[in-house]
Amino acid sequence: MAAPVSAAWAAVAIVGVATIAIKSSGVMLVHGRQLPARLESMIALLAPAMLAALVVTNTFGGDHRLVLDPRAAGVAAAAVPVALRAPLLVTVITAAATAALVRAI
Amino acid sequence: MRFVTHYRTGIRLALPLAVAVLAFGISYGVLAREAGMGSLAPFVMSTTTFAGSAQFAVASVLSTGGGLAAACVAAILLNVRYAPIGMSVADTLSESTPKRLLEAQLVVDESWALSNRGGGRFDRRILIGAGAVLYLAWVGGTGLGIVGGNLVGDPDKLGMDAAFPALFLALLVGQIRSRTAAVAAALGGAIALVATPFAKPGIPLIAACLACLVGWRRR
């Protein structure tokens, strides 16, 4: 079923403006201000917390459920180059090749 | 220790991912067209929104008859995480306000993660170099998908969908330099895992920010 073209353009405009506003708000709110030390140490922890959440949602995330599919095999295989501190390229290719292989079987 | 970095360091770091992003750009172009979004609208969306998961969400909600409001809410929820992410890089970006706002648009999960130096520090040039490559790959891929149709087949079949979590895993491991960081990572991952079955996509990532609260007591 096709959506009306006008709805598509409305979505392009609304989501585009909202996304640009969201991305701009973060850098405008904080810039050039001396933040309280506690807030700074919390913002510093955003990277490990968000990266772990990105790993989880990109590996197991499904439509309102957790799924175990070839992505998990790819990430598990990538743990080896990660542990060996191999270059990112090796890690990414290991994950993709493993997931492709498991999916083909 | 002093790091000398260049935009091309960011470009080089982002190239392997750019291949995957290009493939997903192509599949987005194909899917959006099949969803009845036309040819120009999905392309304009890639140039302005530059956020893959949100754009896929819009195409799929519109094509299944979910309506405009639902499509926009789903996409915006997926992008709310860019507010805290933007806060984390605010002091890294350019001093001039127009430049800073422009640079902020190049912040996506992958460019942000690649530019992370640990301990809350980021590298502006890596962020911009990587962001620019990924932007070109996403916009170019979308155009190819709209005009050329399905050139590469299903990117998932090539395992491209596993490339992203593997990248995040590699970058996460480099981040665990203190006990507090390890606790925040474990908590963030656990929150996302628990929230995924119950919440709309995007919410688990926002909820994972709560893990930062462990920084309240420790420095």
pLDDT at B181 over 60: yes
* Element (DSSP H or E) covering residue B210: none
Nearest Cβ partner for B215 among A2, A8, A42: A42
- Would you place residue A5 in the very low, low, confident or very high pLDDT band (cuts 50, 70, 90)? low
Write out chain A residues lying below 8 Å of B111, CB-based: none
pLDDT at B201: 82
Give me the count of residues in chain B. Answer: 219
Q: How many whole angstroms separate alpha carbon B27 and alpha carbon B40?
A: 15
pLDDT tens for each residue of A53-91: 999 999 998 888 899 999 999 999 999 999 999 888 899
pLDDT at A12: 96
Local structure of residue B116 (DSSP, 8 states): E
Write out chain A residues lying below 8 Å of B102, CB-based: none
In sequence order, what are the residues at sequence separation of 6 or more whose Cβ sits closer than 8 angstroms to the Cβ of residue A17?
Answer: none
Across residues B74-98, what is the average pLDDT? 91
Of B104, B88, B94, B49, the residue nearest B71 (C-alpha): B49
pLDDT at A32 over 80: no
Across residues B31-54, what is the average pLDDT? 92
pLDDT at B19 over 60: yes
Residue ranges covered by each domain of chain A? 35-104
Across residues A29-33, what is the average pLDDT? 76
- Position B141: which residue type? G
Instruction: Answer whether A95 sits within 8 Å of B196, measured CB to CB.
Output: no
Percent residues over pLDDT 90 in chain B: 56
More confident residue, B79 or B120: B79
Give B116's strand partners.
B122
pLDDT at B34 over 90: no
Instruction: Answer whether A78 sits within 8 Å of B169, measured CB to CB.
Output: yes
Q: Are B130 and A68 in contact (CB under 8 A)?
A: no
More confident residue, B15 or B5: B15
- Position B152: which residue type? V
Across residues B103-109, what is the average pLDDT? 95
Instruction: Answer whether B208 sits within 8 Å of A50, measured CB to CB.
Output: yes
Instruction: Answer whether A75 sits within 8 Å of B104, measured CB to CB.
Output: no
- Would you place residue B184 in the very low, low, confident or very high pLDDT band (cuts 50, 70, 90)? very high
pLDDT at A4: 56
pLDDT at A2 over 60: no
pLDDT at A95 over 90: yes
pLDDT at B87 over 50: yes
pLDDT tens for each residue of B129-167: 999 999 999 999 999 999 987 777 788 888 888 988 998
B166 by Cβ neighbours in 10 Å (0-12 / 13-18 / 19+) ranks as buried
Of A54, A88, A90, A92, the residue nearest B158 (C-alpha): A92
pLDDT at B117: 86
Mean pLDDT score of chain A, rounded to an integer?
89
Give A94's strand partners.
none
What ipTM does the predicted assembly reach?
A: 0.89
pLDDT at B1 over 60: no
Instruction: Answer whether A48 sits within 8 Å of B172, measured CB to CB.
Output: yes
Determine the residue among B172, B213, B218 to mutate to test chain A binding: the one whose Cβ has the most chain A Cβ atoms within 10 Å: B172
CB contact residues (below 8 A), chain B span 75-134, against chain A? 75-76, 79-91, 93, 97, 100-101, 103-105, 107, 109, 113, 116, 118-120
CB contact residues (below 8 A), chain A span 39-58, against chain B? 40-58
Across residues B189-197, what is the average pLDDT? 95
pLDDT at A52: 95
* Element (DSSP H or E) covering residue B121: strand B121-122
Across residues B82-104, what is the average pLDDT? 92
- Would you place residue A37 in the very low, low, confident or very high pLDDT band (cuts 50, 70, 90)? confident
